[in-house]
Amino acid sequence: MKRGNWCIRKKFRFEAAHVLTNAYSVECKQIHGHSYQLEVFFRSELLNNNSMVYDFKAIKEVVQPLINVWDHSLIIQADTPAHRALKEEGNLITVPFNPTAEEMAKFFYDYIKAQVSSLYKVRVYETETGYAEYWEE
C-alpha cells in the first residue's frame, strides 16, 4: 500500500427552507430558502486495496438517503413558536438546534462519521459564496 496524504471530496445539493432563532436580521427570522450544497471530505494516509481513500458510490449510499429527506423541506428548531405553528405542515425537519449552516455542518458530520470513519470534514454552502465547515482534530 502506498503511504501519503490523500483527500477526496463529494458534493451533494438540496433545496430547503429554514427559520433561524436569534438571527441578526429580520429576514433570517422569517421562513426563507437556500440552494444548499453539502461537501464531504475524506482523508487517509493509506489507499485501500482498490487504490482509493473511499469509494464515491459508497459515499453516495451513505449520504444520499439523508439528502433525500432534507430536500424541499422546512428545517426548524424544535420547541419554538414557529415549530408549534408549523408542525402539522408537509416535509418538516425538526432539529434540536438553531438551523444555521454551522449547526447543520456539525449535524451532517456526526451522521456521516458514525458510518464512515475516514470522514475528515463537512462543508455546508448556504449560498454560492458562503459556507460553514465542521471537523474534529
Q: Is residue 31 part of a domain?
A: yes
In a domain, residue 137? The reply is no
In a domain, 22, yes or no: yes
pTM for this entry:
0.87
Give the range among 42-56, 70-84, 97-111 with minimum mean pLDDT. 70-84
Contacts of 26 (CB under 8 A, 6+ apart): none
Question: Grid coordinates standing for 106?
Answer: 456539525
Q: Which of 15, 61, 72, 136 is catalytic?
A: 72
More confident residue, 30 or 136: 136
Per-residue pLDDT at 60: 98
Cα→Cα distances 106→26, 51, 85, Å: 25, 29, 26
Residue 133 bears catalytic tag: no
Angle of helix 101-113 versus helix 56-70 axis, rounded to 10: 130
CATH number at residue 47: 3.30.479.10
What count of other Cβ atoms lies within 10 Å of the Cβ of residue 29? 14
Per the prediction, the chain carries an average pLDDT of 91
For residue 59, what pLDDT is reported?
A: 97
pLDDT above 60 (res 63): yes
Question: Residue 1 has what pLDDT?
Answer: 57
Quote the domain boundaries for residue 8.
3-131
- Structural domains in the chain (count): 1
22 pLDDT exceeds 60?
yes
What pLDDT is stored for residue 89 in this prediction? Answer: 64
- Tell me which of 28, 39, 83, 133 is the catalytic residue: 28
Answer whether residue 56 shows pLDDT above 60. yes
Q: Is position 107 within any domain?
A: yes
Specify whether 7 is catalytic. no
Within 13 A of 63's CA, how many CA atoms are on the CB side? 27
124 Cβ contact partners less than 8 Å away, ≥ 6 residues apart: 36, 37, 38, 39, 101, 104, 105, 108, 131, 132, 133
69 in a structural domain: yes
- Domain contains 65: yes
Which among 18, 34, 103, 126 is annotated as catalytic?
A: 126
Kindly state whether residue 136 falls inside one of the protein's structural domains.
Answer: no
